[in-house]
Amino acid sequence: MYNVRWWDAAALAVASVVVLLTLVDPPYGPSDWGTWATTGAFLAVYVAYGRRFLTGAPVSHHLAIALLFSTVIAAGAAFEPSFAIMQAFVYPYVWATAPSVRNAIIANGFVALAIVAGYWIRFGPAGLVTGLAVAALSFGFSIALGLWITRIAEYGEERARLLDELQAAQGQLAAMHRDAGVTEERGRLAQEIHDTIAQSLTGMVMVAQRAGNRLEAVEGEPAASLRQAQYHAVRGDIELMEEMAREALTEARGLVASLAPVAADAGLADALRRLGASFERETGVAVAVTTDAAGLDRELEVVLLRSAQEALANVRKHAQARSASIDVSVGGDGVVLTVADDGVGPGDAEPGVNGFGLAGIRDRAAMAGGSFAFGPGPTGGSLLRVVVPRADAASATHRSDASSPDAAGGTA
């Protein structure tokens, strides 16, 4: 509505039409010269004054511009009745720049009265009927069209406001999802540390206290046999402390490995190979990676990568395996991730019972619209299978914990 070039073209067009209408009927006389002069005055008013307020005019300027245009129209119509064609520009202008509907209607009234005045000056009292008819028709059409366009503009502004509010609400909801994911992950980490490292360290403290008590009992004992027996008991406690410390260190390394970010920027296959190589270096468990799935959605790759990472963390903690395999393939049901090992088997492990790893994989698969299965392998060991659809129907908001490949992955 406020494209200045279009308004410039419209003003020049109506001015050109008026001039051409006078040029086709020579010889030229005073009325033609007056028409050309008022046409020039119309362009001068527009360029010098009206053009500055195309994006909206204050009430005083709007009424002043409307009066100037009305005066020009009245003078032009007095020289040449066809000069009333200028209303085709002036009516839309006063509607577009009006600060309110009331001001637009008042300005429309000025233009309509200018047409009546021009016809009355040109034809005398006999021109009043024609002038009133032309003014009433143009005024009524302008009011109807202006109110309709104004209503459409208000509706558009209301829709834009509602869209802005919706986008703001979506942003807040996304932030809440992220906060909820952070809170849930903190709770999971706290539980994992409590169930593993904290318990091991607590046991070490108790063993150390027992060793200290035994050393105190040795003090002052004259019998060498008793001191020897106490010595062996304390030595056993110290060895137990060393074993527990090693177990706690293993648990800590497992947690760090499960939480370490594995970037998927180069694709799922490369990320899985890097994950397998890192796992093999840290644990000595050989990991074979095969994948024939390409062109997957970014967030789907993240779900599969995190599921594989948590599955390997499960192998590290429970499987006692010598080798493991990761396979990603595309089947009729979707993309299939399979993680197998040759360890002791799953036993009675159930998702969410003894830890968070299996439950985390199950929840990731469910949020992606897929399925999860865990049980013994066909030739021994454990077999984990995750199936997720390739379609983009799975909502990204349901995978807030996998929104980034650097998000933390859980362990069992």
Q: What is the pTM of this model?
A: 0.43
Neighbours of 298 (CB within 10 A): 11
Spatial strand order in the sheet of 286-291: 286-291, 323-330, 335-341, 382-388, 371-376
* 149 residue type, one letter: I
User: How many residues appear in the chain?
Assistant: 412
CA 208 – CA 241 distance, rounded (Å): 7
Bridge partner list, 336: 329, 387
pLDDT for 42 = 92
pLDDT for 379 = 83
pLDDT for 409 = 38
Bridge partner list, 335: 330, 388
pLDDT for 410 = 37
CA 2 – CA 43 distance, rounded (Å): 18
Distant-in-sequence, close-in-space partners of 250: CB < 8 Å, separation ≥ 6: none
The pLDDT of residue 324 is above 60? yes
The pLDDT of residue 68 is above 90? yes
pLDDT for 395 = 39
Neighbours of 183 (CB within 10 A): 10
The pLDDT of residue 161 is above 70? yes
Q: What is the mean pLDDT of residues 112-121?
A: 90
Distant-in-sequence, close-in-space partners of 50: CB < 8 Å, separation ≥ 6: 65, 68, 69, 93, 97
pLDDT for 348 = 67
The pLDDT of residue 225 is above 70? no
Distant-in-sequence, close-in-space partners of 350: CB < 8 Å, separation ≥ 6: 358
Q: Where are the alpha helices (DSSP H) in 292-356?
A: 298-314
**Cα dist. 161→100, 152, 324 in Å?**
20, 14, 56
CA 143 – CA 111 distance, rounded (Å): 12
Report residue 251 CA to chain centroid gap. 38
Helix (H, G, I), strand (E, B) or coil at 390: coil
CATH code: domain 261-412 is: 3.30.565.10
**Mean pLDDT taken over the chain:** 79
Q: What percent of the chain has pLDDT over 70?
A: 78
Q: What percent of the chain has pLDDT over 90?
A: 17
Q: What is the DSSP letter of 316?
A: I
pLDDT band at 41 (very low <50, low <70, confident <90, very high): very high
Q: What is the DSSP letter of 28?
A: P
* 362 residue type, one letter: R
pLDDT for 193 = 67
Domains of the chain, by residue range, sit at: 1-259, 261-412
pLDDT band at 337 (very low <50, low <70, confident <90, very high): very high
Q: What is the mean pLDDT of residues 176-183?
A: 74
